Structure 1
Amino acid sequence: MLKKLLQAIRPKNSVTLPDPDAELALGALMVRVAQSDREYQLEEISLIDRILARLYQHNAIEAAKVRATCEKLQAAAPESDTFGQLIRETTGIDERLAAMDALWEVVLADNKEHPGEITIIEEARIAMGLSHADSQAARAKAKAKLLSQSEEN
């Protein structure tokens, strides 16, 4: 489904992107959240790399390559819910909840919740079939993680 959509909007002479899977869909959503405030910061990029490494057992270089691919996918795909639907269709509830946790980590990386970020989170939440309570639990978890990391530093 997403492949056909991407082919329809992609210029004919563009670089061929891989068929998205749940990992690439989550990565693209994280990139979209990070870029939504028009300030794609190094901290956010590093965090996305760390999350991809943690969730999918990549080393730092592999995670950075996956994120770079996700940046291209994110730019090519029209709607955030397309990625959320792919995650819903290809993963179980635990993976979808982990995806929501990851998205909230990226939102809270700069200690600010921008309206554009919240819009993307909500679109993804609905598309992934998660409740508002699931999203709020993920937000609280991400906030607690951020607090514990800042206390360690």
Structure 2
Amino acid sequence: MFEAIRNFFASAEADLRPETDPHVAACTLLVEAALADGIYADCEQDQIRDILTGAFGLSDARVAHVLEQGEELAESAVDHHRFTKVVKACLSRQERIALVEQLWLVALADGEKSPFEDAFIRRIGPLLAVDDRDRIFARTRAEARLRTR
């Protein structure tokens, strides 16, 4: 009986903590990358939508919901550990490197290279267990993708 009550409260707590959803956690990091320079441009938000749809394969309704939660969490976040911990636990090494590339896509979407966005991604890399070499290659790939558009 106590196990059933404990399971009930555990599931209720998970519903109250959207950052435990790996899509929301990753989205929050993407929004934080966009916010790092103090400006959340529409092109950055569009880039995040494209990532949620393309890379994560989410439906339009799910994208809207995840993006709304990610934006709310990014605005109130005091650190990145609770998001990176979820992402690190749920994604493989290659997927985490892809996420770093996606962070670069968002940071560079407005056409400006901000030192604040750069510093944010340099801080996030080690928290995702992505080394400097892979982070730099991810940036190079993101820049190349943006040039071909």
> Please, what TM-score do these two structures have when normalized by structure 2?
0.82
The structural deviation recorded for 1:72 is 1.1
Give the corresponding residue for 2:39: 39
Give the corresponding residue for 1:131: 131
Give the corresponding residue for 2:8: none
Bigger Cα displacement from structure 2, 53-62 vs 121-130 = 53-62
Q: Distance in 1 between matches of 2:52 and 2:84?
A: 16
**Aligned residues of 1:84 and 1:125 also touching (Cα < 8 A):** no
Q: Distance in 1 between matches of 2:146 and 2:58?
A: 22
The structural deviation recorded for 1:143 is 0.6
Which structure 2 residues correspond to residues 1-153 of structure 1 after superposition, within 5 A? 16-149=16-149
What stretches of structure 1 move > 6 A for 4+ residues in a row?
Answer: none
**SS state at 1:56 partner:** coil
List gaps (5 residues or longer) in structure 1.
1-15
RMSD: 1.5
The structural deviation recorded for 1:77 is 2.4
Number of residue-to-residue matches in the alignment = 134
- CA gap of 1:81–1:111, structure 2 versus 1, over 3 A, is farther
The sequence identity of aligned pairs, in percent, is 27
Deviation per residue, 1:1-46 (Å, 9 max, x gap): xxxxxxxxxxxxxxx4524232111100110111122211111111
Q: Distance in 2 between matches of 1:118 and 1:81?
A: 18
Q: Distance in 2 between matches of 1:117 and 1:63?
A: 23
The structural deviation recorded for 1:120 is 1.5
Q: Distance in 2 between matches of 1:136 and 1:63?
A: 28
List gaps (5 residues or longer) in structure 2.
1-15
